[in-house]
């Protein structure tokens, strides 16, 4: 990991608040001193349309090719291979009567499959 490179993913205030809530309520007893939880966003080849997001996870893990961006104390990690696919995308938290979930609005996506689980 390098502290001079970041990624182009942005997050909304709603996502930042919900991530902060999850981090603050997490059991941190297994973390080593100085470690903290970060959101990891990854894109992998797969799904009907070609690419899919792996499940969003909070993790202390940092890998060699990770790009980290700090949003007022909430860190978001993207691996180097995923970064080009999410450059300019926005990570949001949607809380409506019908659903409560994290979502990515990705201007790089040309379309999704019928079920919405993958994009191209």
Overall average pLDDT of the 6-12 stretch: 91
> What is the token pair recorded at 106?
């990705």
Give the pLDDT confidence of 48-77 residue by residue, as tens digits. Answer: 657 777 889 999 999 999 999 999 999 999
The predicted model scores a pTM of 0.83
- Taken in order of first residue, the domains within the chain and their CATH numbers are 10-105 (2.60.300.12)
Helix residue spans in 8-118 (DSSP H): 13-25, 83-86
Mean pLDDT, residues 17-38 taken together: 93
The mean per-residue pLDDT over the stretch 79-85 comes to 92
Q: What is the mean pLDDT of the chain?
A: 86
Query: What is the structure's pLDDT at 107?
Result: 87
Structure tokens at 38: 């970060």
At 92-113, the pLDDT tens digits run: 999 999 999 999 998 877 665 5
Q: How far apart are CA 19 and CA 60, in angstroms?
A: 14
């Amino acid at each position: 990991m390098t502290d001079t490179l970041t990624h182009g993913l942005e997050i909304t205030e709603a996502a930042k608040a919900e991530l902060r809530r999850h981090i603050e309520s997490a059991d941190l007893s297994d973390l080593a001193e100085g470690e903290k939880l970060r959101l990891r966003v990854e894109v992998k080849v797969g799904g009907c349309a070609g690419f899919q997001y792996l499940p969003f996870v909070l993790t202390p893990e940092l890998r060699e090719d990770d790009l980290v961006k700090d949003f007022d104390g909430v860190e978001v990690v993207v691996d180097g291979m995923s970064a080009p696919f999410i450059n300019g995308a926005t990570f949001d938290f949607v809380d409506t009567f019908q659903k409560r979930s994290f979502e990515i609005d990705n201007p790089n996506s040309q379309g999704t499959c019928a079920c919405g689980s993958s994009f191209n």
